[in-house]
Structures are given as C-alpha cells and as structure tokens.
Amino acid sequence: MMNYNKIKRIVLNSVVGVVLCNYCIYSQDCPDDSYTYFADEEIPSNVTVIDQGNCFSNYDIDVLLDIISLNGLDYGSPLELGLQTWAGERLKIWVATYVPSGGNGLTQKIDQLPNNFGQLSELTTLYLEKHDFTELPDSFTSLSNLVNLYLSNNWLTSLPEDIGSLTNLAMLDLGYNQLESIPESIGDLVNLEYLFLFNNQLTYLPETICNLNLDWDGISPANYPYFACGGNFLCCSEMIPDCVENSANLNTSMEQNYYSFLLDSPQICAELGDINGDVAWNVLDIVALANCVLALSCTELTNSCTADMNGDGTHNVLDIVALANCVLAQNCGN
C-alpha cells in the first residue's frame, strides 16, 4: 500500500528533475509511517545494517533527501550518500567526506547543510571533510550522541555558540578551515581527547579552553597530537590562554590530505610595527596605528601586539612616535 504522506516528502532531484519515488515505499514490515521501507535489492553495498530489518527512520532519510535537493546532487537514493551504518532504524555512522574518485564518501561536493540536520540525532561518528560549506546550521548541536566529528578542509568561518553542548565528543577535528574564533562553550566538552585547530584564521582563543582535560603536549601511539593549533595567527601572549601558549603543540599541524605525518607550522605573525601586515613599514602603518590609538581599538587588530612599539602593554602616542621614528630611519624590524 502506497504511503501518501511519504510522497509529500519526496525530494526532486534538481539536476535531472526526476522524482525519487522509487524509494518511498511503505510496508507492513515497518511499525508505522515514520519509517521508509527499502527492499533488499534497494539497499546498496555502501550501507551496513545492524540489528534491524528493512525499515529506516524518516528522521534520517529526510535529512539525506534534503541534502540531495539543497545541493543539487546526482544521487538516486538517500542510501547512496557515502558509507552509512544503520542500527535500530537510525543512522549511526556516516562517512560523507568528498572523495571524487571512489565510493568511500561522497563523489560530489556539498556547500550547504539543511536546517533539519540535527535530526541525525543518533549519529556517533560523522565525517564531513573536503566540502565547501562555510557554516553549520543551528540544529547541528542537537547531535548529542556524537563521539567523533571530522570537519577538516572546509571553509568554516565560525561555529555554533553552543558547540559545547556536544559533551560526548572525544574527537573534534576542525583543521584546515577559516575559523576566526572558537566559542567560549568549547570548555564544556568534558570528554574531549583530541582537538585539532591547526591552519585556521585564529588570532585568539577563549580562556575556557583550559578547562579541557587534554594532553596538551602529547602525541598518540598512532602519531596524532592530542592537541594542535599550528598555522594560525596566535601571536599576542595576552590573547593566548596559558595552556595553549605553553603547549608543545602550539605550532604543530598535520599533512593536509591524509594527516599522514606531523608538520612544524609556526604561527603567522607580523613583525613589530607592521600594523597592516604587508611586510613593510611605511606611512600606511603610521596612519593605521594613529587611527586605532584615537579610536581606542588597537586591541582589535589581528596582531595587536605589533602596535605596542615600546612594549609597555598599552597603545598610545608613544607608540606612534616610535613607529614614525623607525619608518623615517628605515630601521623598523631591525
């Protein structure tokens, strides 16, 4: 018997305009119409099914269908998206890393996650690497069962403020993104064992990060750092928590594609007086310094410590004079 409520939720494939109705079959084998039935021949080899029949929760199926629709992906079934492990009718493990040449992930990139992404609430492991999305939907922090979260090599510029509500996380990989800040709630991730922040755009970190019970200096037997944040802009001591500044892995990163080896990646820091970070000292730096001193906003500079010319911990006219003198003498940076 056809389930017409399910038909209403069928997503249109925006590439070829074909209705995915072949995968919207209701069966008496399912408890009710909150499940979608897939015949054995409709379950592809990339899907592992544990301790369940052929019924798949619509909470998860609907999210996968929305990802297909929202990103115009050329997939005929929600079960074709990456490596999937299902148990008790729910999606538990999803490997959706972009892998253009093979079936161990998604062969097409996604640049948006749907607002209902939080419906994947039984996920314990999620790989969403090497895509093009810049933000996570607010519902993302409803994934309360996540233990392993891999989001490297995207274009994330920020995280949900309540990211700390994912308290079951043991692994959080945010490497190779464009993050400019980390929320204060990071300190609530009480079970975190690995935190990768390397190769982002970070100029400061919240003091709450020191609440984490990480091995700040350690390297695992598999040659992974427990914490690493190399290749950022963490240059000013007053903007770096002690646990990070004193970490042996402050300047540690990993090879970008496969994390196959460790890298020494120092912080990207402008030299004293190079206010605009253009690796030169001229009138543009003097103007930038004078403006921020007048506006009392020098602490908001990407590398605010470059503006403290005399090292007294403040920004004032004495710094402007010192910078003007070295620009005129052409000896800044010496």
Residue-wise pLDDT for 171-206, tens only, equals 999 999 999 999 999 999 999 999 999 999 999 999
The pTM of this model reads 0.88
Cβ neighbours, 10 Å, residue 27: 15
pLDDT for res 19: 37
Give domain status of residue 313, yes or no: yes
> What are the two backbone dihedrals, phi and then psi, of residue 194, each rounded to the nearest 5 degrees?
-130, 135
pLDDT for res 52: 85
- Counting Cβ atoms within 10 Å, is residue 312 exposed (0-12), middle (13-18) or buried (19+)? exposed
Q: What angle (nearest 5°) sits at the alpha carbon of residue 158, between those of residues 155 and 163?
A: 120
331 CB-side CA count, 13 A = 5
Give domain status of residue 317, yes or no: yes
**pLDDT tens-digit map of 104-131:** 899 999 999 999 999 999 999 999 999 9
pLDDT for res 313: 85
Q: How many domains does the chain have?
A: 1
pLDDT for res 15: 33
pLDDT for res 277: 86
pLDDT for res 9: 46
Closest C-alpha among 169, 158, 94 to residue 129: 94
Give domain status of residue 230, yes or no: no
In terms of residue numbers, what domain contains 288?
A: 283-329
Alpha helix stretches (DSSP H) within 194-262: 242-245
Round to whole Å and give the CA distance between 173 and 195.
6
Residues of the chain with pLDDT under 70: 1-28
Round to whole Å and give the CA distance between 327 and 38.
72
pLDDT for res 28: 52
